[in-house]
Structure 1
């Protein structure tokens, strides 16, 4: 059945925020009321404003809301967004398409074929990142869903030359690189949020796609959308990314997430 709007939204530093990325200014007494959006090991980890939670409920009532995250499925499932489980969710940067909470087998098979044809194996990238000389800044190396690699890094210790060389190596191998906070991602090119979002749009028969995100891994998704939003923080802001259909927030941090949802609601359910 056709739906008028699909709204795809990145999670971390777009919709939900850790305590270190709230970017609140002014007096504590003037801070917005917030709700816990994620608990990890028994402690609150991510937050959104109470107003943002209410706005998200209204957006979900008016449109097909699609969380779109680089988190693995397990990491995504820790996030407690208000309202019912979304029909579709994009996790692992588009490597996993969840339909009613279950990974879509057809999507997985399609990606596997594309990666086998166009990309160097994951093990090649992992072997490069595991070189002993990189140990001072590659603190931990992880594999996500057997699809891509990410590392916990010491950004201060990491030389610019390392990143430039990694980008070049990955480009040759059919992979892309993104740095978000203390995490460095290496992802095969076929795995991207834009492709997964296009599949959701095809399946829902939508007439209009809205997207929001803050990182370079979100750029393709924002470019694909008819209307896009980004906060004035993050990789895309640092890169000065602009487009005719892209709107920027007036604030950064957790209040940017609230502003994005308010703007989206005005589009999908105009007063």
Structure 2
């Protein structure tokens, strides 16, 4: 079969929320830069990038195979109009789903479901245990995501002391883990992992010839659920905010932005372009 897609030398796996895109609350106080809305919910603007970052995101797709890699559900991901789309591959549900030209790959999902059943508690068992540990005084929402994992939306200052550590301990004993990102506390099967999905997409792109042999993998993310993906990449970057910043998490292959908030997203895109073999004429965003 003749190959028509351009061969890339770099794969970029990037988290979205608080890495590439930012809610109004996540932009950072005092930041006054032009922005573009990249997500609406019920007609209301929800997520933003700086205008410069949005333009540069489009440029990033020239030298690199960009793989949006998010904990969002498929439905939540589909709300985002990220510059550079449409995507050949996207990873949602923390690696539980791989989208191929926008369509969920059923073989990948069946394999993930089998691993979850084999290696730990079921989603029903986890949700039952979690419900027994929470109440409405500090939890505003309880959600199940794509029949894979669950999460709470909480009032962070009211979360009982020691709750996350105790809950994570129970989860790990049952093949799951718990982590907090802002107002959300996730319970995630250990079999559901962004880094495994990225490795699978890389394998497919290399096998099809869309990615050259020995291509560089770059990764970006801000939360604990991104840590393994960052560690597994050839080079990685995280913003100076978020869960990994709070944990002071680092790795030998890691760069940390100077900026925080939405300007960190701009800095991350600059870094990704600088680390990717780029066509002539693409230059990083200069200082303001």
TM-score, scaled to structure 2: 0.89
Aligned to 1:264: 272
Distance (whole Å) between structure 1 residues aligned to residue 159 and residue 275 of structure 2:
42
Alignment map for 1:86-97 (pairs within 5 Å): 86-97=87-98
Gapped regions of structure 2 (runs ≥ 5)? 281-288
TM-score, scaled to structure 1: 0.95
**Cα distance change of structure 1 residues 220 and 46 upon mapping to structure 2, 3 Å threshold:** same
| Contact kept? 2:220, 2:236, Cα under 8 Å | yes
| Contact kept? 1:3, 1:204, Cα under 8 Å | no
Moved more, 152-161 or 8-17: 152-161
| Contact kept? 2:10, 2:277, Cα under 8 Å | no
SS of 1:17 mapped into structure 2: coil
Aligned to 1:75: 76
Deviation at 1:137, TM superposition (A): 1.9
Distance (whole Å) between structure 2 residues aligned to residue 244 and residue 46 of structure 1:
31
| Contact kept? 1:5, 1:208, Cα under 8 Å | yes
Matched length: 267
* Alignment counterpart, residue 18 of structure 2, candidates 13, 21, 30: 13
| Contact kept? 2:8, 2:63, Cα under 8 Å | no
Aligned to 1:25: 30
Q: Select the structure that is richer in helix.
A: 1
SS of 1:115 mapped into structure 2: helix
| Contact kept? 1:129, 1:138, Cα under 8 Å | no
Distance (whole Å) between structure 2 residues aligned to residue 67 and residue 250 of structure 1:
23
Aligned to 2:8: 3
Alignment map for 1:194-233 (pairs within 5 Å): 194-205=195-206, 206=211, 207-233=215-241
CA RMSD after TM alignment: 1.4
Alignment map for 1:238-253 (pairs within 5 Å): 238-253=246-261
Deviation at 1:132, TM superposition (A): 6.8
- Listed one character per residue, the Cα deviations across residues 116-147 of structure 1 (whole Å, up to 9, x for unaligned) are 11010011111122127533222221110100
| Contact kept? 1:37, 1:48, Cα under 8 Å | yes
Distance (whole Å) between structure 2 residues aligned to residue 79 and residue 24 of structure 1:
23
| Contact kept? 1:229, 1:260, Cα under 8 Å | yes
Alignment map for 1:1-271 (pairs within 5 Å): 3-25=8-30, 31-131=32-132, 134-205=135-206, 206=211, 207-270=215-278
Gapped regions of structure 1 (runs ≥ 5)? none
